[in-house]
Each structure stands twice: as structure tokens, then as C-alpha cells.
Structure 1
Amino acid sequence: MSARLMANPQLRPTLAGRPRDEMPTPPRAMAASAQRGNRRRAMPRWAKPAIKTALIVAPILFLLGAAGAAWKRPSLAETVAAAHDGLLRSTSSLGFTLSEILVVGRNETERDTVMDALGVRRGEPILSIDLAEAKARLEELPWVSAASIERRLPGILYIRLAERQPMAIWQHDRQFTVIDRAGRPLADAMELARRGNQRIDTLPQVIGANAPQQVQSLLTALEQAPTIKPRVLSASWISDRRWNLQLDNGVTVKLPEGAGMPMALRQLAEMDSKGKALDRDIVAIDLRQPERAILQTSATAQLPGWEEETKKKPPGKKI
């Protein structure tokens, strides 16, 4: 009897008075939450606190190790220096040593002068070279106006120089010094001549105690008279006020002071182009008066120097 009852499909077991197929199905959200809970429980409960502890303890251990290393040395600076030396030795063993020095733009500066200023030697670790200090030492050299240095690993030091241009030879106290446009001394002219430098033969001479400080304004004015500039052999700074020019044909040109000098030189160039004034039998031209030129012949001219600002004007022909 009981077996037939259990086999009857119309009879189903109940839970708390309700049939099993009438129980509600769990929502998907509840199922997903259960799965996430299972995944979180996959990590042991002690793992998260252990990770936090490791993150705190690791920096402390590192600092303690550094402090222990520093304790063995008199100062922290020596510790840092020792670490730096060890790093350089390591890079040197890997081939990062100075093997070649390339210099571009060197014309007047001597090779040994560049090497002395650099203060480096082949075979030393290339990473140990202080590029900023080497650049500053190079730019202290008389001929060098600017320098740049870079490493080309593993072993090349590349240097580019920009040199000052010689513009005149300053004659003072029986010395001859090559100067640039700004009047800065560059080298001894006699020494350059002994070395066979032929460039200095083309430079004009400037004479006077303060001539270098005034040479830039003179060169600027001469550039506005391109036919006169190549004919200037020397220029004398007179009474600390103005210039006298000595031309290649022996003619002395007295220029006015200040802003009138460029105009006077243009006037001289125009006179020479139109009337060949510099080809005449004259020894001097006085351009100190605006819009007026006085040509002096050998019979009326004074000796070069002409520091006669308070003397009587010599007679001459006015044009």
C-alpha cells in the first residue's frame, strides 16, 4: 500500500506544508553575490594583513640598511661618494670610458689649450665628466665666445666651439695685441706672426690707451663706407675724443667725434667716387666740420698725431 502511494506522481513531498515545486527561485543578483563571496573566500584571511605589514616594513628595512652602511663611515657625504664611485666603476667596466674627443669650430685656439681647459684624460669614466664645469672653463679662453659639450656614449666627448673674430691690432706701450670687435684682447700679434698666421697682416691697427673700448663704433662707421674700409691701415684715438685714420696711400683723415663720424666717412667715400679726392697730391683731409672738407697739401699739412685742438687752424684749400 505504501509503495503504491510513493509511486503515485500526484503525491509530492512538502516542506512546511508547501509542495517543493512551489518554492521561489533565488534571484540572479543573489546568485552572483554568492559567487563573488566564494571568490573572496578563496584568499586566506591572513593574506591582506600580511601585505599591509610588508608594505610598511620594507621601507623601514631599507632605511635601516642605509643607516647601517652610513654608520660604518664618518659622514653621509662619504657614503654617497662611495656609492657614486662604485656606480662609475661599474659603468667603466661596461665600456663607458672616454676614448675620443671631437672638437668642431676650432681655428685659432690651440689644441693643447683646449685639452688643458677640459681637464680630462682618455680612459676615465665618461659619466664622471662634469659637462657644465668643462663648458665654463672653455668659455674663459680668450678666443672662445661660446662652447657646447655633449656625451656620445659609450666613449666620445663632442665639443663645438664658436670663436671670436679678430678685427684689429691694438698698439700700446710697444705691445701689439689682437682684439675682437668688442675690444677684447685675444692674443699677442707678434706670437701669432711667429707661428705663421697670415690673417693678422690684413688687420688694421688701432693706437691709443682707450682705443679698444672705441673700436666697435669705428668699425660700425667704416662698414657704412665699404670703399674706404679696406684702405685703412691704422686708426689713432686722439685726445680720448675722436679718430684719425691713416690710409694705404699715406693720407691722414681727421674724423669728427661722436655721431658725426659715420656721416663724415660717407662724405669721404662720395668725394673719392666723384672727384678722386684720395688720388690727389694731398697728405691729409680734415672732416671735422659738418658738410665741409679741408684738403691739406704737403706744404701746409702738419705731422701725424694732430693733437692741436687748441691750435690755430692751418691754411688749406676748401672744397
Structure 2
Amino acid sequence: MASPIAPLTPVAGTAGTAHPLGLGTAPLGNLFTGVPEQDAAAAIGTAWDLGIRSFDTAPLYGYGESERRLGRALRDRPRDEYTISTKVGRLIREGAPPSPEQLHDGEHFYKTSGKANPVFDYSYDGVMRSLEESLERLGLDRVDLLYIHDPDDHYAEAVDGAYRALDSLREQGVVRAIGVGMNQSGMLADFARDGRFDYFLLAGRYTLLDQGALEELLPLCLENGIGINAGGVLNSGILADPSPGATFDYVPASAERLRQARAVAEVCARHDVPLIAAALQFPAAHPAICSVLVGARTEREVRDNDRLLSHPIPAQLWEDLRERGLIAPGAPTPG
């Protein structure tokens, strides 16, 4: 089922030639584990060779390292032939204390060697500083799409400060589109009602394990013409490999989540379908979803994701998942 809302395409491209995948670059900011520079460059280069032209990053990812790596890898590519989205709401500051939400059991999610840490700032001026610093790290004069990043505990400031700044940047033509990126759907629905946004980045809330966005957010976005870029479709790893130690929402998965993921994997195995293939293809079937953003650390992961996005999946697999209560009754499925 094709989305009635067009994805943001390169200036030199058209919606008809847009690759359905975008490359998420949180892993290239050393999420969970360090990624060598050459592997990061190879992953981005392979995405380009496969026709992927949408790249998503953020100051938070590696505390600036993802943006720097993405900028270096795309430096010699024609600027009008790809789109970049980045985010605002966190400034990266040397000497700032570690941010508690970026720690689990005392360890940083992003493995960095410097002394910089993220600092929340959703003010109008903070957004302008954030964009300026992102452009410097990227080595670019513009980005295409700018998201307010994870304003879970900062809604009022995000509306009064960040949204006003983004709306002004869009009005001036500094950015082509604006949005909000979050790991929850409820507050995105509030933003949809309270502002005029082009796209949302919905991370982890419309997947084979969590269809929480189905009832309210996705219909609201269709009604308001807001495109959804689906991120976190592997729920930070558990839908790639639901083995002990797998992560869900960036922390070790609960026993219940492991059971749920293994039940989905069992259905996929019965139909000889890789679990990742089903996880990639499921969200793309909803008409509110414009693209699927998938992170990768290596060239091989990028190639595998590209291949599995078109892996044949029999309609009966989706029916079996629905009959077992593993996907919601009203969730659209491919085919």
C-alpha cells in the first residue's frame, strides 16, 4: 500500500525514483559499540551505491560524531541528489555532566572518548545554535529536514521555542521541511494537533512488536498530511535477533518482549522468511508511512537490509501473525 503523502526527495529527484529505505546513522555514532571510521564510510558509500538518498542523523548520535562522519562520507556527492535530516533540542557541550537519560547501569549508550555531553535546549536561540553547529559538523550549508528531538519532558518549551524557530526557518527557506522525532506516539499526536508539521520520525512505535501508533497517531497524520518516517523498526535489535541479551528500546529486553519476538520469529521461520524481512516490510504497508529508516554499522548490514526489503513474503504469514494476536487486527499488511 503506497503512502498518499510523498517522502521528502532530493532536489534533483522525484518521488517516483525515491528509494523506500533511508539510512539511520545512530549506529555510526558508536551506539552500543564502537564503529571504525572505515566501516562507517563503507556503510554510507554502499547505501549510496544501492540508490539510498535519504540520510538521518542528530547531534545526539555519538555526541556529534555521526554528523561528522556523514558529512565526510557525502562530501564529494552532488548536494542536490540526496536529503539529510538532523535534529534540535540537545546541544553538545564540552565539560557538561553526563546526561542521565543517556546512561544505563552507569554506561553511556554512545561509546565516545571525549568529554562532551548533550545538554537539553529547546529554546528558540538554542535551536538556531544547534542548526549552526550541525552544519559545521556536517560541512554543509543546509539540511533538508529538521526535527525537534525527543521533547518528552519539554513539550511547552518545544512548542514555544523550538517550533517557532523551525517554522521561521521553513518560512525563510533555510530548511525545506520540519518535524518532530520521538520514541512515543502520544505526544506526536499532540504536536500534530498543535502545530503545522511536514513529517514525524516515529521510532519504535509502529513495528511488529509495538503498534501503539495505529489507533490515534497514524490516522491523525493522514488527516493532517503529515508523513511518517518509521525508525527503530527493529526495536533497537530484538527484531534482528531475539536471543538472550537482545535490546528493546536500547536496554536489555524483558522476558515478555523476548517471548513476543520469538513468537513472531517462529511464524516467520515456518514460512521460510527472515525475521528482519518481515520487520522491515510490515511498517511500510501503512499509508501514513513515507519511508523506513534503518541503521547499519557495516556495508554488509546495508546490503542485507536493502535485499530483505523486497524478500517475498506470503500473505499467509501476516494472517498467521494476526490470528496469534501478534499484530493488531486493523494493521495493514503488505500485498
After TM superposition, the score normalised by the length of structure 1 is 0.20
Higher Rg of the two aligned structures: 1
Higher strand fraction (1 or 2): 1
